[in-house]
Amino acid sequence: MTVGAIVLAAGLSRRMGAAKLTLPVDGMPMLARTLEAASRAGLPLLLVTGAHAQAVRAVAPDVPTIHADAHEQGLAESLKAGLAAAPAGWDAALVILGDMPFVQPETLRQLVEALANGAPAVVPVQAGRRGNPAGFARTVWPHLMTLSGDQGARPLLDSLHVVEIPADDPGIHRDIDVPEDLKG
């Protein structure tokens, strides 16, 4: 089974006031850290750009990219652009948020394993809370294509029979949205 990573990197970075995915986190661009974790987990990559597309592509010039033309309408549009552009050989995909550079490769591997074992949808859970990324078998992608706005797949998870995967990884809850987030 082939599971790929759709890395969403299309946001406007309004709260950060700059192209946040290019900002350094522990000495490397935030997006580069996120992509490195996915690569270390053995995932083929697809990067979804939108706002700041040129700067985002400069961080990852060798990663296949799709531009989400409707990215300003919210996260769902970026997700749908990524799903529509995913290679036909992918049986499932993890939807990884570019601004979550602390998710561990082992967590990604656990999610992939659950998808490979037949889970229609997966999400990591740490300390009783669901986190990111979520993963989806191709069979449920049509449901994801009905989303709109800025919520992502959260409203659909329970109806998709999500499997919660225990993860000893606080990175599944840590995204970077404002300058203060870079300090902690």
The domain total for the chain is 1
Beta strands (DSSP E) in the chain are: 3-9, 24-25, 28-29, 45-49, 65-67, 92-97, 121-126, 129-130, 134-137, 162-166
Buried b (16+ CB within 10 A) or exposed e, 62-91: ebebbbbeebeebbbbbbbbbbeebeeebe
Residue 61's pLDDT is 95
Q: Which residues contact 14 (CB under 8 A, 6 or more apart)?
A: none
For residue 22, the SS3 value is helix
**Residue 152 sits in a domain of what CATH number?**
3.90.550.10
Phi, psi of 124 (to 5 degrees): -80, 150
Domain with 123, as residue range(s), is 3-182
Single pTM value for the model: 0.94
> How is residue 122 written in tokens?
């997966």
pLDDT per residue rounded down to tens, the chain (184 residues): 999 999 999 986 666 566 789 989 989 999 999 999 999 999 999 999 998 899 999 999 999 999 999 898 988 999 999 999 999 999 999 999 999 999 999 999 999 999 999 999 999 999 999 999 999 999 999 999 999 887 778 778 878 889 999 999 999 999 877 667 667 5
